[in-house]
Amino acid sequence: MPFATAIHDRYFEDYIKGEVHTFGSTEVVEAEVIDFARKFDPQDFHTDPDAAARTVFGGLIASGWHTAAMMMRMYADHYLTKVASLASPGLDELRWIMPVRPGDVLSVRVSIVEAVPSRSKPDRGVVTSFIEVLNQRDEVVMSMRAVNMIGRRVPG
């Protein structure tokens, strides 16, 4: 379901509990998998295709942190407001469910779990989202809950 408002005019009131939004598409590129892992997660099954073939994964897989970074790009490009995002106090329940491999094409499905106006700061609300990263077969490869503070269009 698309948002009723464009990302450049999206405020707290536009995040409706129960809505589900699917968006994005990014291909997992082998060179990027290896480069990311060499910098941030240097394990053989992320950095060395030959060694990865001999692991339980049977081949190269993306670091979970790389998968999270790819998700974040799609989340920022399509879900988070460009005018009223006030940062995030954190996330919960991060799960890497299935290996992500070069050649996979990822997208994101976000379910709005809660949208609660702040009692102490009437200019904003808190949106809790359940995020699922899907591969090209619509299999969930990663999931998490995110909390975002979003400015209100008209403070309560």
For residue range 99-147, list pLDDT tens digits in order.
Answer: 999 999 999 999 999 999 999 999 999 999 999 999 999 999 999 999 9
Q: What's the sign of the alpha-carbon dihedral 49, 50, 51, 52?
A: positive
- How far does Cα 77 stand from its chain's mean position? 10
Q: Are 16 and 112 in contact (CB under 8 A)?
A: yes
CATH of domain 7-151: 3.10.129.10
For residue range 25-81, list pLDDT tens digits in order.
Answer: 999 999 999 999 999 999 999 999 999 999 999 999 999 999 999 999 999 999 999
pTM for the model:
0.94
Show Cβ contacts of residue 48 under 8 Å, excluding neighbours closer than 6 positions: 60
| Helices 30-40 and 64-78, axial angle in degrees (round to 10) | 110
What residue ranges do the domains of the chain occupy? 7-151
CA distance 9 to 20: 19
pLDDT at 155 over 90: no
